[in-house]
Homo-oligomer: A and B are copies of this chain.
Amino acid sequence: MTAYRYIVIVGCGRLGSILANHLSRQGRNVVVVDRDEAAFKNLSAEFSGFQVTGDAAELAVLRRAGIEEADCLLAVTRHDNVNLMVAQVARTVFGVPKVIARVFDPSRQAVYDQFGIETICPTLLSADTFLAVLDQGPPGARAQAARAPEAGS
């Protein structure tokens, strides 16, 4: 077995639904959990996984998602705190081998590290990409010299 087979995704927003659609297309078993049933509208018609409506902070909801069989959990709600808590429960209570959480706040990554939770930070990914684009420099720079803004700033 060379890939994660049973993946629980917590949060079915933009990121969660992109991941769910993609991983489902790859033939993996995917279960998506969201508190808000309306979020599942983001799933494509071809999505062949399962949907669980409920608060993933509750153990019963994670069990309904089959977490005890999962070899991977992705915590991608829009709330760093929720992602941390769910990821921690997945690691420590259910022993899920692979747990990755989205974390917007780079300063929280140290907390996640302590719990052995891998993180992906959109803020840092974006910063790296912005800076890479800027490092390329302009095709033809403006003639005017840069100057400080006017008073009042």
Chain A residues in the interface with B (C-beta under 8 A): 1-7, 14-15, 18-19, 22-23, 28-29, 31, 50-52, 63-66, 69-72, 74, 76, 97-98, 100, 102, 104-106, 118, 120, 122-127, 129-131, 133-135, 137-138, 140-142, 144-150, 152-153
Measured between beta carbons, the chain B residues less than 8 angstroms from A18 are 106, 123-124, 127
- Could you name 17 residue pairs across A and B whose Cβ atoms are closer than 8 Å? A3-B135, A4-B138, A6-B146, A7-B134, A18-B106, A28-B146, A50-B149, A63-B150, A64-B150, A65-B149, A69-B147, A71-B146, A72-B138, A97-B140, A100-B130, A120-B130, A120-B133
- Looking at the complex, which one of B23, B125, B150 makes contact with A129 (CB distance below 8 Å)? B125
Residues of B within 8 A of A72 (CB): 134, 138
Residues of B within 8 A of A28 (CB): 146
A126 touches B125 (CB 8 A): yes
Complex formed: what's the CA distance from A123 to B98 in Å?
21
- How many copies the complex holds: the figure is 2
Contact assessment for A127 and B4 in the assembled complex, using a CB-CB cutoff below 8 Å: no
A66: min CB distance to chain B, Å: 4
- Most chain B Cβ neighbours within 10 Å, of A23, A141, A144: A141
